[in-house]
Amino acid sequence: MEYTILILVNATNQWLLLPRKDRDSFVEKELQPVFEKFSSSCKIRLFDSDFTHSRISDFLIIETDNLKEYGYLIGYLRESKTFAIPYFEIKDLIIGVNNNFRGSLNIQDITTVN
């Protein structure tokens, strides 16, 4: 099963007070290696939303069929400065499955009387 995960975060003052070059360096040296480590099992995309949302500055969309690897990815991020200082606070986490409302049911499963 393929999962799509939205992680809604808000940048903290610790992050915003860093000079831009330090933020860029952090992403390059701390985040990119983690994302690369899990690139074969998790497709990770980063989005900026602080110009359109008052409580969520950024969000991640992760697609995976391996929740175990996703769990390890989050563990690495949790132990890093990303969430430990924290540079970012998780505001919400949503896991969904595309078109799962259809499920595996066949309409006859619920309309046929035995």
The CATH number linked to 13 is: 3.30.70.1030
What distance in Å separates the CA atoms of residue 16 and residue 9, rounded to the nearest whole number? Answer: 13
Q: How many domains does the chain have?
A: 1
Q: pTM for this one?
A: 0.84
Which pLDDT tens digit goes with each residue over 54-111?
899 999 999 999 999 999 999 999 999 999 899 999 999 999 998 877 666 666 666 6
Q: Would you state the structure tokens that stand for residue 31, as one six-digit string?
A: 């985040």
Which pLDDT tens digit goes with each residue over 1-56?
999 999 999 999 999 999 999 999 999 999 999 999 999 999 999 999 999 988 99
Q: Which domain holds residue 72?
A: 3-111
